Structure 1
Amino acid sequence: MQATFCATLVDQWVRDGVTHAMIAPGSRSTPMALSIAASPELHVEVFHDERSAAFAALGAGLASGRPALLLCTSGTAAAHFHAAVVEAHLSDVPVLVLTADRPPELRDVGAPQTIDQTKLYGDAVRWFHDPGVPDADRASTWRALARHALARTLGVRRGPVHLDLPFREPLVGESRDLPAPHLGRLLVDAPALRLGALSMQLDRERGVIVAGRGVDDPAAVSALSVATGWPILADPRSGCRRSPGAVTAFDSVLRHDDFAASHVPEVVVHLGEPPASKVLASWLAESGAIQVRVTDTDRWIDPAHTVAHRVVAPIGEFCTRLAGELRGAGGSDWRERWIRVSAIADDRLAAELDVPAVLTEPAVARAVSRQRGHVVVASSMPVRDLEWFGAPDQTASVWSNRGANGIDGTVATAIGIASVTGEPVTVLLGDVALLHDASSLTALARRDVTVRIVVVDNDGGGIFSFLPQAGALGESRFEQLFGTPHGTDLVALAQAHGLPADVAGDAGSLAELLDRPGSRVVVVRTDRRDNVVEHARLHACVTDAMRPR
């Protein structure tokens, strides 16, 4: 009966478009694991560690917009999913979480590998359900259950769903005839766009478009920029960096006090998630502008408490509609002034970073930004370096776990993206982020994916050197609590997992190593103190170049 129940759920999920499953091995999950493995339509990846499996499922949902199945056994295994579930919740990423459980008679009696899994992830899931031990009397409801769970991961409230599935021994069984399919095509709710009087309030000359993750149609964003005469401040995750009106080095540009003060906007249209730049966020928060946030989910994003209007709609559709209704900057040179300073900044950064004398952390980020396929960056300095110093001619799709902004699971996220897209993925992360996710290196060499991992190794937490703690504390206390040197040989760590690993000492060797086929680890060794100085130098190069001559 348990085998038939699981086979029915899997069959319905496949019919509704699920293509990938991530499994962490265990005994209690046997009925579901066998059903997933027996489905020829599913691509299955097995991970030895539950956290890696969970972030791989997150990556698959991030890149495809469809949920992967994520399965583990009972007990603390389910708790190891929690960080990825939280990230999926805060980033609106669909994941179908399946945790095996003990039957009711084995709960609260000291049975092994048994914890309270009821609503284990709290409000981080869109829906929790425990259907009980499978019973033939409820077979007519199984397909509806599968449809319900999947549908809850999608739409304007997309995100993770948790099914807690209790099974009794024996756990190995044969599936019998499945309940006949009877459900129609899965239809996902889509928000209706209503602008109303909003367009009249936004029809101002001095506007800026801030494009982040969530943009579904970069061409429509570009058309809005042309129609309104507003520049696009383009996060690498937006896909808008190559648009004609894009300003890519906005963080450095806005560090020029005179330009920032003389170009305060009247209107800000935020598309999707915000960039990482604190300089940009502070400038916008102090602008006094009318601010609009457009997302295709109903997640509330307003950390500065300045958003006057929220629009839940497909971003491309919003841009197309708005472009037809606004005059914007009209015949003024507002957009051209932004484009001119953007060109100055791009030229200055290109001169410093395209052929660097020393392979610095910003130079590594710039090189990675030009990789083909997909790029995954850790949510510490790498995501900032790619945003601030990445090449304006970026072609790769860029991904980062910016919901909770944690650094765990970066490699596993990349594996999930590589699995679902079938395309090469380049990862940029720091040494501490790699150590957080070292379990994801297990069996990576055997997977049918290409994941190239570039590790900036400054022997500790580099981002803390930019924070006030670095100046407020003595060196020994800072290193103890924040610098946290570890002394790990990352090349040896990768080689222990059967992965090719090398140290890149200059830009030429980095490019050559990244051109080699297959998954590998490339280590670039840097110094944390020197990195702070280099960032300040590059920002100063841009602001100096912007001064009138």
Structure 2
Amino acid sequence: MKISETSPPRRVGPAAASPAATGSAVAESDAGRVQATFAATLVDEWVRFGVTDAVVSPGSRSTPLALALAADGRLRLHIRLDERSAGFFALGLARRTGRVPLVLTTSGTAAAELHPAVAEADLGGVPMLVCTADRPPELQQVAAPQTMRQPGLYGSAVRWAADLPVPEPGQGVYWRSLAARAAAEAGYGPAGPGPVHLNLAFRDPLVAAPGPLPPARATGPWHRVARGVATPPPEAVRDLAARAGERGVIVAGSGAGAPEAVRALADALGWPLLADPRSGARTPHGATVAAADAILRAPAARERLRPTTVLHLGERWASRVMADWLAQPAVEHLSVDPDWRWRDPQRTTDTLLRTDPTTLCRAVAEAVPDAAPPAWRAAWAAAEAAAQRAMDQVLNSYGDWTEPRVARQLWAALPSHTALVVGSSMPIRHLEWFTAPRHRPPSVLSNRGVNGIDGVVSTALGAAAAATDPVVALLGDLTFLHDAGSLLGAADAGLSCTFVVVDNHGGGIFSFLPPARELPAATFEALFGTPQSADIPAIAAAYGATVRSAGDHRQLDAVLAELVGKQGVSVIHVRTDREANVAVHECVHSAVAEAVATALERLG
């Protein structure tokens, strides 16, 4: 079977498909016709709601809905052989577009394969409509093949779920209401975007032509969602505005709000802006601090730069150093959390503001009569400038080709219209810790809900399928190998996706953790280092990817210029050494600590 993007046959509106259109000569029955009509009604209602993409893994029991999806020319259909890959592919589509994608599997373990992506969508706040086919009641608990208990399969990981019996005639209003509500729950539920599960029972015959669809609303879906921007409490706006000029910091992560609004707030308050690359606010600006992790490792900075107030916008940084520093006593924490996600692992939040971050930033900036003097921010600016110079000096002169330099160079080189998908473990940390502010940075996507390495290749491919702009993924060797099978058919799918694979023969992050220091070397390597001898270029080439190697910064620049933005799937293999990676971290941190201490001393 060829796995690729498909362009389903076009038809106008929700007209019923004929048996010829499905390529089937199977005799129709009333039951089959009702099921086909039910499936076509769901699809029509989802399209009315704004669903544009459906990801399908081939299977038998899901036939009625798969045929309905293929027959509706208003949807883009993506076929993925592996259900786990299909789930993360849909996740990538949703992260790139913000719209609700649909993913469909057959019954049995196929449905269970979606669970990792459902968990990530839940904790990452990503909309997803998960449809699993199921056997009818008479085939449950009698050892029928490919049958297991599927209601409640994903537990508390879903925003909403419905277990549906085999459809019956005369349920048209219910069908349309169900479809519209499922999409609404996924995209606009009270806990924010997330996954919704529909478990759909189908009975033989599975192939039939639909009858006339039940009437729809004259315009739009059966249910609409009117969700206005949450107005920040006036007392919260006044309180924040009154803190202008105090020793405050803004910590911005993914979901922090519009970057220009966040920068305007930093200017009005006179506070530094500690900007994660995922925030979109890591740009050249008087408030921007990119090297916070390295700065706060410097003893001279920890007390000198200690704030009295911290405003958290969006997700927290990955940096443990910064989290520990922020958790000091006598520091007040204000967290903006519009979807009640409760992103506070260290329990530091004093006040939770359930409001839209962009609206809050603009309201507070307008409430400050005059921009606060930047005296407090000057110390941060001096530390940031010193840290960036020290990083450049160390990384540019270091003898080995290092992982921090790969991240720093990749971030600086990518076109602004690129989406950068970053793997967990070390890649997200290298991007967060070692990249400098830049104008019009690429958008950064990452699976930081559960923080796992699962499905990153699929997520990047899904993001690439969502738009014509190119996607680049930065990931480690184990992350790539974990999901390499998702490359099957990707080279022929009309995508533009480049994978930069940093290969250090194992799990590099564990070299920074206590087991590396406390265990015998052989035990550490077996249990944590997880050395692997896979030929990554050969594996990528076997799946049809264009493969290049980058042995130094000049070669990386050259292959990026060659491959990024070109149609097709490509892999850039970067070989590094785990021990050298630890050494360069230590060298950078030492140089930054010295440079920051000198810069702060000069300020007096």
TM-score normalised by the shorter chain: which range applies?
A: over 0.9
Q: What whole-Å deviation, never above 9, does each CA across 1:246-271 have from its counterpart, x for those lacking one?
A: 10111111111121211111111100
Residue 505 of structure 1, CA deviation:
0.8
SS at 1:334 equivalent: helix
Q: Aligned partners of 1:76 and 1:360: how far apart in 2?
A: 41
Residue 83 of structure 1: aligned partner: 116
The 10-residue stretch of structure 1 (489-498 or 342-351) with the greater mean CA deviation from structure 2: 342-351
Query: Which residue of structure 2 lines up, in the alignment, with residue 535 of structure 1?
Result: 585
Q: Does 1:293 align with 2:335?
A: yes
The question of whether the paired residues in 2 share the 8 Å contact of 1:191 and 1:314 is answered with yes
Give SS of 1:316's match: helix
Instruction: Point out the more displaced range, 329-338 or 213-222.
Output: 329-338
CA contact (8 A) 2:291 2:436 kept: no
Is 2:517 aligned against 1:482? no
Report the aligned-residue RMSD. Answer: 1.7
CA distance in 1, matches of 2:77, 2:215: 25
After alignment, is 200-209 or 140-149 more displaced? Answer: 200-209
Equivalent residue for 2:291, pick from 249, 262, 273:
249
Q: Which 10-residue stretch deviates more, 188-197 or 201-210?
A: 188-197
The alpha carbon displacement at 1:392 in A equals: 1.5
Checking the alignment, whether the CA contact within 8 Å between 2:237 and 2:360 is kept in structure 1 is no
Change (3 A) 1:327 1:285: farther
1:351 Cα deviation (Å)?
A: 3.3
SS in 1 for 2:472: strand
SS at match of 2:367: coil
Residue identity opposite 1:282 in structure 2: D
Equivalent in the alignment of 2:199: 164
Structure 2 equivalent of residue 402 of structure 1: 448
Kept in 2, the 8 Å contact 1:133–1:166? The answer is yes
Give the 3-state SS of the residue equivalent to 2:312 in structure 1.
strand
**2:489–2:543 contact (8 Å) kept in structure 1:** yes
The reply on whether 1:207 has 2:248 as its aligned counterpart is yes
- Name the SS for the 1:48 alignment partner: coil
Query: Is 1:126 aligned with 2:163?
Result: no
Q: 1:186 aligns with which of 202, 220, 224?
A: 224
Give per-residue Cα distances to partners, 1:176-227, cap 9 Å, x unaligned: 2111112467224345223243345443301100000013311000100010
Matches within 5 A, 1:106-121: 106-121=139-154
- In structure 2, the CA distance between the partners of 1:354 and 1:24, relative to structure 1 (3 Å rule), is farther
**3-state SS of the aligned residue for 1:25?**
coil
Counterpart pick for 2:543 among 497, 512, 515: 497
| Change over 3 Å in CA distance of 1:93–1:13 after alignment to 2 | same
Deviations 1:18-70 (A, max 9, x none): 11111111111111111111221211111111111101111111122211001
Residues 493-546 of structure 1, C-alpha deviations (whole Å, 9 max, x = no match):
101101111221111111221222232111111111111011111121211222
Q: Which residue of 1 aligns with 2:596?
A: 546
Identity %: 47
Q: Is the 8 A contact 2:177 2:223 kept in 1?
A: no
Check the 8 A contact 1:199/1:326 in 2, yes or no.
no
> 2:236 is aligned with what amino acid?
L
User: Does 1:316 find its partner at 2:362?
Assistant: no
Cα distance in 2 for partners of 1:160, 1:126 equals 6
Structure 2 spans left out of the alignment, 5+ residues: 1-33
**Match 1:52 to one of 56, 80, 85:** 85
Q: Is the 8 A contact 1:461 1:482 kept in 2?
A: yes
Which aligned segments of 4 or more residues in structure 1 are displaced greater than 4 angstroms?
A: 326-329, 354-357
Aligned residue runs from structure 1 range 424-443, under 5 A: 424-443=470-489
- More moved, 200-209 vs 383-392: 200-209
1:228 alignment counterpart: 269
Is the contact made by 1:20 and 1:69 (CA closer than 8 Å) also made in structure 2? yes
Structure 1 residue ranges without an equivalent (≥5): none
Give the total of aligned pairs: 549
The normalised TM-score by structure 1 is 0.97
In the alignment, which of 560, 574, 586 is matched to residue 524 of structure 1? 574
1:453/1:521 contact within 8 Å kept: yes
1:350 paired to 2:392:
yes
| Counterpart contact for 1:359–1:506, Cα < 8 Å | yes
Partner of 1:176: 211
Hey, what does 2:131 align to over in structure 1? Answer: 98
Measure how far apart 1:317 and its partner are.
0.4
Larger radius of gyration: 2
Task: Judge conservation of contact 1:61–1:94 (CA < 8 Å) in 2.
Answer: yes
Q: Tell me the TM-score normalized by structure 2.
A: 0.88
Letter in 1 for 2:260: A
Match of residue 419 from structure 1: 465
